[in-house]
Structure 1
Amino acid sequence: MAVSDQDEKQLRIDLAAAYRLLDLNNWSDMIFTHLSARVPGSEDRFLLNAYGLLPEEVCASNLIEVDVKGENANISPESVNPAGFTIHSALHLAREDAHCVMHTHTMAGMAVSALEEGLLPVNQTNMEFYNRVAYYDYQGVPLECDEREAIVAAMGDKNSMILRNHGLLTVGRSVEEAFYRMYYLNKACEIQVEAMKTGGKLLLPDDDVCEHVAEQMANPRYNAQSIDLIWKAMLRKLDRIDTSYRD
């Protein structure tokens, strides 16, 4: 199927919307939060926010196209965060289905990333990720591209990852799929942190129950419909607040 300029325009709008939703959901870490997407029809070109912009400032037109080295593929002075690019490029290059990669430093995500036991099935939301979350041990700020192989190996075929002592990461075949996974992975972390705050003994369902729920949540028809309806609802919400992300 031929790729048109309209395909890239829509991708830019969707990715910019995801940045605005990141801000709206209080997931922002100032200028250090990164969401990326593979340019339609390309294997080695990606869209990323310009280094220095807040998520609330990102719009379709100011997303930067970068190559596999994280260098601006167009003639303009803007650059991207090298640490952010290392993590994203690793998965874009290794996973054909990783069209979009999202990485956040949310308070709940960072808190759970510091727990030895990681994410626990304390709630139905958490069970969606039961045995479906990868973990990557902290190696320092990921500035070197040779760390790509380790990130890819840790991720395997999973779509969600907890970067220990760091934050959260999700991939998707589309912006909306990666956003859906990030929203609920972070929500699962929030639920766990709140449950642990009570100081009570955590009630964890049996493994077979958790696996059953995870399989239910992964039902392709249910999952695809949920992602589509949620994304459309989120865009409507953004449009009621501020349509400038589309510019």
Structure 2
Amino acid sequence: MSRTPLSPPAPAGMSEVEWAARLDLAAAYRLGAQMGWSDLLGTHFSMRIPGTVDEYLVNPYGLFFEEITASSLIRINTCGEINGQSEYGVNKAADVIHGGLYAAHPQAQAAIHLHSVAGTGVASQHDGLLPASQSALMILSRVRYYDYTGARLDREECARMAAAVGNGQILMLRNHGTLTVGASLGEAFCLMVRLERACAIQLAAQAGGRLREIDPLQVEESIRFGASIYSEQSWSPRAKVEWAAFRRKIDREDPGYAV
């Protein structure tokens, strides 16, 4: 979690660690709004509450991304039980997708699910994300796939979805959207930024004609190098450097999240 000038003290009765998590997640939603990541009320980011096993924060079902504040986020557990008062409920899909993910992956600390044009476009292609650009190569080692099973989701379906993540961090939901998982919110967010860019580049290149293939040896080496980004040995473990920059950006441009 990041500390910035817009990190007010926690409200009475709330721990500092939960409040810091709320500030991070609300900041991520405001950044997502700037990036055009929303789909009406249908997509969601979440963050496990530090120090808990089965509780996490997610957006209220009724607010656009640009309306979300730290105090408006909903605390919920992996069984779908809401802790606290809110005039809004939780999107059922958010409950089962994120709840299933946190139950299956104790190491997961945050997740982002989108229905973006670029991400869904590539997820709907037969071959998925191609090794067609450096942006794609940097994340390909983390990419997994899950076939479309319809719009209705239940806990059993989402358990299978969580299992499909396996040891990856990026799930291409065929004909549906994308999902990233991180050991921190910053990591999940930055992986989604990278994925969105890789997908947009692929679609643009395909629209321009036949893709130029990269030498297989360079593909292999670049994928191997990409697997090390955000590791503890990297220059930015868990994307903490990029996330700190994103927090500074949203503090400058849309500080209303920090209430």
Where on the TM-score scale, by shorter chain, does this alignment land: which range? over 0.9
In 2, distance between residues paired with 1:236 and 1:63? Answer: 21
2:252 maps to which of 230, 240, 244: 240
Q: Following superposition of structure 1 onto structure 2, how do residues 121-132 of structure 1 map, counting pairs within 5 Å? A: 121-132=131-142
State yes or no: 1:196 paired with 2:214.
no
CA separation of 1:160 and 1:223: change in aligned 2, threshold 3 A: farther
One-letter amino acid of the counterpart of residue 65, structure 1:
R
The answer (yes or no) to whether the contact 2:120–2:176 under 8 Å persists in 1 is: yes
CA distance in 1 between counterparts of 2:78 and 2:142 reads 28
TM-score when scaled to structure 1? Answer: 0.93
Q: Which of these residues, 201, 209, 216, is aligned with residue 218 of structure 2?
A: 209
Q: Which amino acid aligns with 1:215?
A: R
Determine if contact 1:71/1:79 at 8 Å carries over to the other structure.
no
* Alpha-carbon separation, structure 2, partners of 1:181 and 1:73: 29
Question: What TM-score, normalized by structure 2, do the two folds share?
Answer: 0.89
Matched, 1:135 2:145: yes
Structure 1 vs Structure 2: percent identity of aligned residues? 40
Query: C-alpha separation between the residues in 1 aligned to 2:241 and 2:189?
Result: 13
Q: What does residue 229 of structure 1 align with?
A: 241
Letter in 1 for 2:45: L
Which aligned runs of 4 or more in structure 1 are off by greater than 6 angstroms?
none
Say if 1:234 and 1:79 are closer, same or farther in 2 by CA, change over 3 A.
same
Kept after mapping to 1: 8 A contact 2:77/2:99: no
Write out aligned runs for 1:1-247 (5 A).
Answer: 5-198=15-208, 200-219=209-228, 220=231, 221-222=233-234, 224=236, 227-247=239-259
- How far has the Cα of 1:117 moved from its partner? 0.5
Mapped contact 1:49–1:62 kept (Cα < 8 A)? yes
Whole-angstrom distance in 2 between the partners of 1:84 and 1:142: 12
Q: How many residues align?
A: 243
Q: Is the 8 A contact 2:143 2:170 kept in 1?
A: yes
Runs (5+) with no aligned partner, structure 1: none
Q: Out of 147-156 and 175-184, give the one that drifted further.
A: 147-156
Q: 1:129 to 1:195 in 2, by over 3 A?
A: same
- AA in 2 matched with 1:241: E
For the residues of structure 2 that align with 1:41 and 1:142, how far apart are their CA atoms?
Answer: 32
**Partners in 2 of 1:63 and 1:168 — Cα distance?**
22
Quick one: which amino acid aligns to residue 72 of structure 1? I
Q: Give the match's secondary structure for 1:157.
A: coil
Aligned pair in 2 of structure 1 residues 67, 125: CA closer, same or farther (>3 Å)?
A: same
Q: Which structure 2 residue ranges, 5 or more long, are not aligned?
A: 1-13
Q: CA separation in 1, counterparts of 2:253 and 2:135?
A: 28
**CA shift at 1:222, angstroms?**
3.0
Residue-by-residue CA offset, 1:17-73 (whole Å, 9 max, x unaligned): 110111111111121110011111111111000001100011110000012232312
Q: Distance between the aligned counterparts of 1:190 and 1:18, measured in 2?
A: 21
Q: Distance in 1 between matches of 2:20 and 2:50?
A: 10
The answer (yes or no) to whether the contact 1:133–1:161 under 8 Å persists in 2 is yes
Helix, strand or coil: the match of 2:187? Answer: helix
- The residue type equivalent to 2:96 in the other structure is T
